Amino acid sequence: MRVLVAEDHASLARSIANGLREEGYAVDLTFDGDEALRWATINSYDCAVLDVMLPSKNGWTILETLRREGNKTPVLFLTAKDAIEDRVKGLNLGADDYLVKPFDWKELVARVRAIIRRRHDQPAQTVKVADLEIDLASKTVHRAGNSINLSAREYALLEYLALRVGQVVSRSEIWEHLYDQNDESVSNVVDVYIGYLRSKIDRDHNPKLIHTRRGMGYVLSANAT
């Protein structure tokens, strides 16, 4: 999953970005409101974490502009303001959630996860496909009751397919949601990691769950047709 973080307090911003990367997210980080709006306009994010008081353009203005242009990127506001009217203003503009500083790190991660699940119409934190079970909170994977050890990037790919279970996902969509703008991975990296996943998820099991739709992309499904 790909997250935009816009926060003008440099040390806090880097802490949030690094923490989310450790959780397996691709993160684009900016300290400036104009840049945050530009990135949110040209990139596809699963969640944007926006500080309200950003230089050049505040979080409210960014969100108002995005919603006016039909951009539905989910937004979690971070702010030092705890006034009810400020929270109401953000929510009325179309924010998905609101977190007041200082906040607990675990709460921020839980809120980001919940926002992303809602974005992909997956309210439950566990996705089951045949005998495959993916826990989106603990980031653990089991098949036929056995634990499957995945690298962070393998898990991120499986999680994205799981959030779109039954839907064909193109290579470009996968790339856009799993890699940030500074990633220098080669163009065939998606196919390489699909191969890694198949080796761990499907090789010793039936039915096969990761399918190629030629010319279209990949789908996670118990149905091969």
Domains of the chain: 2-119 (3.40.50.2300), 126-220 (1.10.10.10)
- pLDDT exceeds 90 at position 91: no
- The sign of the torsion formed by the CA atoms of 176, 151, 209, 146 equals negative
- pLDDT exceeds 80 at position 187: no
What is the C-alpha to C-alpha distance for residues 14 and 29, in angstroms, rounded to an integer?
A: 8
Average pLDDT, the chain: 90
Percent of the chain with pLDDT over 90: 64
CB 195 within 8 A of CB 203: no
Mean pLDDT of all residues in 166-187: 79
What is the C-alpha to C-alpha distance for residues 13 and 139, in angstroms, rounded to an integer?
A: 24
Confidence at 117, pLDDT banded by 50, 70, 90:
confident
Name the residue type at position 217: G
What are the two backbone dihedrals, phi and then psi, of residue 51, each rounded to the nearest 5 degrees?
Answer: -75, 140
Angle, helices 152-163/171-178, rounded to nearest 10 degrees: 120
pLDDT at 129: 94
pLDDT at 153: 87
| Cis peptide preceding 55, ω within 30 of 0 | no
pLDDT at 130: 94
3-state secondary structure of 43: coil
pLDDT at 109: 94
Hunting for tokens 């309210």 — which residue is that? 123
What is the C-alpha to C-alpha distance for residues 36 and 14, in angstroms, rounded to an integer?
A: 15
CB 137 within 8 A of CB 113: yes
pLDDT at 186: 58
Structure tokens at 144: 């036929």
46-64 burial code (b ≥16 CB/10 A, e <16): bbbbbbbebeebbbbbbbe
Q: Measured in Å, how far apart are the chain's first and last C-alpha atoms?
A: 27
pLDDT at 176: 83
